[in-house]
Structure 1
C-alpha cells in the first residue's frame, strides 16, 4: 500500500502544489509513507534484531503515527457510516458526474476496502505505540 501511495504522490506532484486541499492530501500521504518506513525499520532493528536505534526514530514514529491515527479514525468512521446508510451512498451516486459511470456495488466494495484498511492502520499504529513504549530503552541518544 505504501508503494502505491508513493507512486501516486510522484505522479501527481504538479497537481498537489496547486491548492491547499491537495497539499493536505500530500501531507497525509507523506506521513503514512514515513510512518510505514520508520515503523518497519523499528520492528526490524529493535523487535527482531534487538539493536539500539537513534532516539530521533522515536520522534519520527510518534509524529507520523499520530497523523496516521487521526487519518485512520476518520476513514474508518466515514466508510462505516456510508456502509450503514445506503441512502447516503445512493445520494452520493446521484451527485456524481454523468461521465463517471460507477456502480453502487463498486462503491460498496471501495468503502469496505477503505474500512478494512482504516482498521488495520489503526491497530498497527496502536500496537507500534505500545511496542515503542515497552522498548523505550532501545532508543539511544547519539552524540554529534
Structure 2
C-alpha cells in the first residue's frame, strides 16, 4: 500500500508544479476579478495537498521520522477540498463522455471561441475534448485513490505523528 501511495505521489508532483504555475496567473487575475478567487483557492488546495503528501512520503514512509501533527492536518484539510473537486470532475467527465450531444455543444463553443482568435491553429476538437476528458477522469480517479490511501496510511501510522502541545501550557512545562 505504501508503494502505490509513493508512486501516485511522485506521479502527481509534475502536475502540481504545472498547477502552481497556473495558480500564479490565476491569482493575478483574481486580484482584478474576485469571482476567480474560489477556483484559485481550489487550485492552491490541490497544490498544497500534493506537496504535503510528498513531505509525508519523504519524512514518514522513506525516512521513518516522527513528524508534527500539523503535517497530518495540512494533508487532511486539503484532501477534503481536493477529493470533492476530483469527485465532481469524475462525475462531470463521465456524464460528458456518455452524452455525445453535450460534447458537441462544448466543441461548438470552443470552435466559436477559436474562430474569433486570429492565428489560432485548427485542431480536431472532438478528439481533443475526448482525450482531455479521458485524461482528466483518469487523473481524478487516481487522486481519489491517493486520498483514500493517504487517510488509511495516516491512521496506520498514527504513533509517528507527534502530539500537539497547547501553546498556553508549553511555557510552564519547561
TM-score between the two structures when normalised by the length of structure 1? 0.92
- Cα distance in 1 for partners of 2:113, 2:144 equals 35
1:142 deviates by: 5.3
1:36 deviates by: 0.7
1:70 aligns with 2:84: yes
Q: In the TM superposition, what are the counterparts of 1:62-101 in structure 2 within 5 Å?
A: 62-96=76-110, 98-100=112-114
- Cα distance in 2 for partners of 1:74, 1:138 equals 33
Q: Residue 150 of structure 2 corresponds to which residue in structure 1?
A: 128
- Cα distance in 2 for partners of 1:85, 1:35 equals 32
- Cα distance in 1 for partners of 2:100, 2:111 equals 19
1:82 deviates by: 0.5
1:97 deviates by: 5.8
Gaps of 5+ in 1: none
Q: Residue 75 of structure 2 corresponds to which residue in structure 1?
A: 61
* Secondary structure in structure 2 of the residue aligned to 1:51: coil
> Bigger radius of gyration, 1 or 2?
2
CA contact (8 A) 2:89 2:137 kept: yes
The size of the alignment, in residue pairs, is: 144
Q: Residue 8 of structure 2 corresponds to which residue in structure 1?
A: none
Q: Residue 48 of structure 1 corresponds to which residue in structure 2?
A: 62
- Cα distance in 1 for partners of 2:110, 2:69 equals 48
- Cα distance in 1 for partners of 2:33, 2:62 equals 42
Q: Quick one: which of 94, 105, 119 aligns to 2:127?
A: 105
RMSD between superposed Cα atoms in Å: 1.6
CA contact (8 A) 2:26 2:40 kept: no
- Cα distance in 2 for partners of 1:34, 1:13 equals 15
Q: Quick one: which of 35, 42, 50 aligns to 1:21?
A: 35
* Secondary structure in structure 2 of the residue aligned to 1:33: helix
* Secondary structure in structure 1 of the residue aligned to 2:41: helix
